[in-house]
Structure 1
Amino acid sequence: MADCLGTQFHVDEKRLHEVLDKAKAFALTKGICMQSEQQGQNGTMLAQYFPLTLFPSVVPRACFQEAVDCMLDFNTLTHKVAHDHNFLENSLKNVLEVDEFTQGLWKIYTQVREEGYSQPFSLGLHRNDFMIDTKNPGHVQIKQVEINTMAAGAASLGSLLVLLHRFTLDIMGKHYDKEEVPDNDAPLGTAWGLLKAWELYGRKQASILFVVCETESNIFDQRHLEFTVFSLNPGVRVLRRTYLDIYNGASLTEDKRLLVDGDEVAVVYLRAGYTPAEYPTHKEWDARLKLERSLAIKCPSIQYHLAGLKKIQQELTLPGSVEQFIKDPTAVKRIRATFVKQYSLDLGPEGNQGLELGKTDPDMYVVKPQREGGGNNLYRNDIREFLEKHTNSKERNAYILMERIFPKAHKNYLVSPGRSFVLSDVTSELGIYGVYIGSATEEKMNMQCGHILRTKLLGTDEGGLCSGHACLDTPFLVNEDQA
């Protein structure tokens, strides 16, 4: 059981490839897809199946439940951090000396804060990512990798993959309870969050705006969410625009209502804008500012975006930080139980401990900048080289040092275009989705709404789906003694 559910079946290669072909066809018929890199003519949309695993991967039931149980706590913590100006400013002040992207976000935050927020409510559609750490012999623990406050994708595809994995288990004759391959309502919960925010805005004629990239490989995940919103309330129109579209076609009324090509917008859902590459000119920054200044409810608001930066995550591990925001000792314990050690790398005495740890034992740490989307972190010798190069440089301020999590390896078949189909040693990362709506003084919604598993080859450092490092997966829940 512990290695791979597929290894129990002892089937020949012919039979296994038959299951593979069925799984690919199932994925395409159910919409577990991404847009192909090959572009069709005259605007034709070409789809291919999303990278996935052939079978679900084993996850200890207790670890899964611990991750679920702390999601409401993390929703609340993130919200309160986002509304504490002093904490944000003190945490990010050294980053802001050197990191241009964070400077751009902070400039927008400062302007809308000084003007006075047009919209008191923020919508958070978060994903809290964990690995199951095995450093403690004989006992596995769930440990937080990061919390994503912006463009936390794949919720829709992850829910559909449950159906595919039940299908592959069924055709292989594997008996299981539905609780072992649990239902996943992530897109439904996310859609309810968008609609609740739309209701709070209070104008039935207003739309929901998805802000997207010009070219979007993950469009089917986004569209599935859009169509889930429509199925729940057909009266709500969903628009899709890029930042350049907003720069050219959006305006604010005197009372800060956002109009996009004449349509009033109630909710802005940002699926783009979390990397510097998505702001190539001032026009994209101006468009982001226009959105933030508007009366529309933002997901995320600029303060939510800042609260998701890695420096904030590192600062929250310091003694007393969580306790500033969460007064329930049980909730504090749940949150802190997921933390690994993290260190400042700021130039000066505060960051020197982290500097020496990273240079002395780089295999035990990861260096992270204030970025999302995969492909940004430093590992092993790259850590030592970076820290030696920047020992006396403020460039260190843009990074943090985080203790590495060593998840248990297992086996699965990774199904991805261009990848050899072989039984592989892999590791997994568990994501839990949450929805939060609130103002500085009022909570309107706080819920946990589904999960995702991402699985990659053993030894692969990065774990992003859209960056091509990992495959979509589903947890198969077992007791710890079976894992």
Structure 2
Amino acid sequence: MTHSDHAPLVDMAITYGLLKYDTHDQLSHMPIVLDPYLVSQLNIDTMKNSSQIYADLLMTLPQAFLEKYLEPLLLNDPFINVLLRILRSSPENAQPYRQAIGRNDFFIASSGTPKQVEFNTVSVSFPMMSECMVNFHTFLESTKAISRLPLENPIAKEITQCFLDMFQYYAFPNSVLLMVVQPNERNIFDQLAIEKLLFRQAGIRAVRATLEDIGRYGILRHGHMYYNNFHVGVAYFRAGYAPEDYQSEEAIQGRILLENSDAIKIPDMQYQLAGMKVIQAVLTDESILQSHLSCNQSREYLAATSVYTRPLDNKDAYEKVFRHPDNFVVKPQREGGGNNFFGTAISSLLNDPSIDFSTYVAMERIHPELHNAQLVINNKVQPPVPCASEIGWYTLTHAMHGAINTDIAGYLVRTKPATENEGGVCAGYAALNSLTLK
């Protein structure tokens, strides 16, 4: 295709809000896919039910449980050390209203059944872009550019109402949303869309700050959090998941200030730590799961969507990975792309005498079903190639005084060429997509 052939397509994607900054700080369209990904209603129901159960489960995990499995990592994982320090510096009931926005990611395996990749408990990205993508595909279907209508994805409405409920509970006039961000954020438009909706619907102002900024300019007054003299009602973390976010003592103190305040945190540190890879690994152990989830049917849902996952210092796991590295993914206690080990990189890791295997988990590699797709990246429509699509279900989990409720807010689809291991959209490895029913 020439530029003139595909320019209207890219322009229309931009019109629908599918925007990001590239590595040169230039405005660019999000990588996108032309055709929605086909999935059965049965698999949709399985993923949604499993996500709801899992989100509730993570909210029930007590601090003592988290510390039991994270404590052994302290010696050789400075990041976990920092996060546990913050948790232990925080009173358990600074704010009884607990709220989390999570995302449970799946592949449809080659067997045709969904398998969980991971559950994200903090800074889940692309909720607003996901709805933009569905709106874009809906437009393309109306013009007959594509043949299938995407499934509805009203996540903007769901997330906006979630924030409005929090501010109604907090009930301090003129309190603000503190959006905790990273410097030089490339996915800023996904965040700004939330800020715009809150201001338009309820006049709620958003203030953006890094953890370091909060450490410098934040203060507690009688348990209330103030940042640059703004009274913070809700703190929404779109950062705080990576070691780079805590490189200074001021950044660490910024998170401690928030955790000690009565601001509603999305999420609080306890829920964030429930998403650590080692916690998700131990929850695949039937005996451990049974002690935290009494419902047989719920455990069966989770077992049906999980794959073999164990801490790498587990003897059985180590031997399996050593013999068949291509059958596994090895993951550190990190969020975000680019951290996982595959194939020969696993063999190198196992032969490194400086590595503390307790800081990694081994997960059976999921072989997803493949489908042909056309990606649009950097203003160019790529030729169709075999691709894999990862489906994430957004969860809104609210807990207060022991009562827990999770709603499914919408979905995210990221499609990548089958040759790619990583799945970052802003980095260009994958592209946004939508779902359509088989």
Shared fold per TM-score greater than 0.5: yes
CA distance in 1: counterparts of 2:10 and 2:175, whole angstroms: 39
> What's 2:368 paired with?
407
Question: Partner letter of residue 140 of structure 2?
Answer: T
Q: Which runs of 5+ in 1 are unaligned?
A: 1-12, 40-45, 479-483
Q: Which runs of 5+ in 2 are unaligned?
A: none
> What's 1:294 paired with?
261
CA shift, 1:394, in A, is 6.0
User: Is the aligned partner of 1:324 residue 2:291?
Assistant: yes
CA distance in 1: counterparts of 2:180 and 2:9, whole angstroms: 32
Deviates more, 1:100-109 or 1:280-289: 280-289
SS at match of 1:274: coil
User: Is the aligned partner of 1:182 residue 2:151?
Assistant: yes
> What's 1:35 paired with?
21
> What's 1:79 paired with?
59
Residues 440-480 of structure 1, C-alpha deviations (whole Å, 9 max, x = no match): 5233x4211100100111121111223432111111220xx
Residues 26-70 of structure 1, C-alpha deviations (whole Å, 9 max, x = no match): 11112110024334xxxxxx5211111122122233212211222
| Contact kept? 1:359, 1:388, Cα under 8 Å | no
Residues 231-252 of structure 1, C-alpha deviations (whole Å, 9 max, x = no match): 3322x21111122221221100
CA shift, 1:225, in A, is 1.4
CA shift, 1:407, in A, is 0.5
Question: Partner letter of residue 249 of structure 1?
Answer: Y
| Contact kept? 1:430, 1:453, Cα under 8 Å | yes
User: Is the aligned partner of 1:156 residue 2:128?
Assistant: yes
Residues 227-281 of structure 1, C-alpha deviations (whole Å, 9 max, x = no match): 22223322x211111222212211001x210011111111100101111122222
> What's 1:229 paired with?
198
CA shift, 1:120, in A, is 1.9
SS at match of 1:433: strand
CA distance in 1: counterparts of 2:275 and 2:145, whole angstroms: 43
Deviates more, 1:27-36 or 1:146-155: 27-36
Residues 327-362 of structure 1, C-alpha deviations (whole Å, 9 max, x = no match): 22222221221110112212xxxx121111111101
CA shift, 1:170, in A, is 3.4
User: Is the aligned partner of 1:446 residue 2:402?
Assistant: no
| Contact kept? 1:373, 1:467, Cα under 8 Å | no
CA shift, 1:89, in A, is 1.6
Question: Partner letter of residue 135 of structure 2?
Answer: L
Question: Partner letter of residue 20 of structure 2?
Answer: M
| Contact kept? 1:367, 1:378, Cα under 8 Å | yes
Q: Give runs of aligned pairs for residues 239-278 of structure 1, distance below 5 A.
A: 239-253=207-221, 255-278=222-245
| Contact kept? 2:123, 2:237, Cα under 8 Å | yes
| Contact kept? 2:57, 2:292, Cα under 8 Å | yes
CA distance in 1: counterparts of 2:431 and 2:370, whole angstroms: 15
| Selected match of 1:385 from 348, 359, 366 | 348
CA shift, 1:325, in A, is 2.4
TM-score (norm 2): 0.95
CA distance in 2: counterparts of 1:332 and 1:440, whole angstroms: 24
Q: Tell me: CA distance 1:343–1:462, structure 2 relative to 1, closer, same or farther (3 Å).
A: same
> What's 1:474 paired with?
434
SS at match of 1:150: coil
CA shift, 1:99, in A, is 0.7
CA shift, 1:418, in A, is 7.1
CA shift, 1:426, in A, is 0.9
> What's 2:93 paired with?
117
Residues 80-105 of structure 1, C-alpha deviations (whole Å, 9 max, x = no match): 12xx1221122212222311101100
User: Is the aligned partner of 1:127 residue 2:113?
Assistant: no
> What's 1:67 paired with?
47
Question: Partner letter of residue 157 of structure 1?
Answer: M
SS at match of 1:203: coil
CA shift, 1:314, in A, is 0.1
| Contact kept? 1:80, 1:440, Cα under 8 Å | no
CA shift, 1:76, in A, is 0.7
CA distance in 2: counterparts of 1:419 and 1:288, whole angstroms: 41
User: Is the aligned partner of 1:462 residue 2:422?
Assistant: yes
> What's 1:47 paired with?
27
Q: Tell me: CA distance 1:365–1:223, structure 2 relative to 1, closer, same or farther (3 Å).
A: same
> What's 2:117 paired with?
145
| Contact kept? 2:10, 2:379, Cα under 8 Å | no
| Contact kept? 2:39, 2:437, Cα under 8 Å | yes
CA distance in 2: counterparts of 1:276 and 1:408, whole angstroms: 34
SS at match of 2:415: strand
CA distance in 2: counterparts of 1:191 and 1:325, whole angstroms: 31
> What's 1:100 paired with?
78
SS at match of 1:378: coil
| Contact kept? 1:125, 1:193, Cα under 8 Å | no
CA shift, 1:388, in A, is 2.2
SS at match of 2:164: helix
SS at match of 2:223: coil
Aligned length: 438
> What's 1:481 paired with?
none
User: Is the aligned partner of 1:283 residue 2:250?
Assistant: yes
| Contact kept? 1:375, 1:467, Cα under 8 Å | no
